Each structure stands twice: as structure tokens, then as C-alpha cells.
Amino acid sequence: MEVWIGMVEVSPLPGNTILGGGKGAFVNAFAFVSNPQEYEEAVKAALEEALFLAIDFQDIEPFSERTATQDLSEEFHELADWTKLTGEVALDDFHVYKNLD
């Protein structure tokens, strides 16, 4: 197992006010798993607990591969470390969009 990262498009479920009226958002998510399928399952479950529906997953890969090709922020490294330590899914900031267009 290792930390995986990906970009997830989400929409709010009824009762969710986190997006402040936005129709959806993109968020980088981190999970301590073994493969892309486990990643999607873990992240979907965590998002549902936070009253989000996962719409689409993009760029899923081991965090170690991402760091080998990109210079990532300290915050990303901290989220990856926390995920590995706790085994819980971590979510970065939500990048909200207001319209579905």
C-alpha cells in the first residue's frame, strides 16, 4: 500500500452547504491504498460522508510517481504524510464552479 493522489470532480448532495451554492467543484484527494480501484472506492466513501457525490476521477497515480515528475507544494506533502499515518482520505481545497456549463 502507498499514498495515491487524484483529481475528483464532485457535486454537493442535499444538505451540503460547503460549496456555498456552487454547483460543483474539483478537489485533489489522497488515499492510502494499493491500486486505482481501491483509490476510487475509498475516496467515494469519504466524499459521501461529507455529503458529496464523486462525478469523475482524473490523473490517479501513486503520490511517489507524481512527485517524481512534478514539484508539489508543501501542503500536498503534508496531506500525503497525514494520509499514510492515519490511513484516512485527505482532501485538499475545493475549487468551486458556480455553473454547470
Longest dimension (CA), the chain: 39
When pLDDT is averaged across residues 93-101 and rounded to a whole number, the result is 84
User: Could you report the per-residue pLDDT of 17-73, keeping only the tens digit for each?
Assistant: 999 888 999 999 999 999 999 999 999 999 999 999 999 999 999 999 999 999 889
Q: Which residues contact 1 (CB under 8 A, 6 or more apart)?
A: 32, 33, 34
pLDDT over 70 at 100, yes or no: no
Q: Which residues contact 41 (CB under 8 A, 6 or more apart)?
A: none
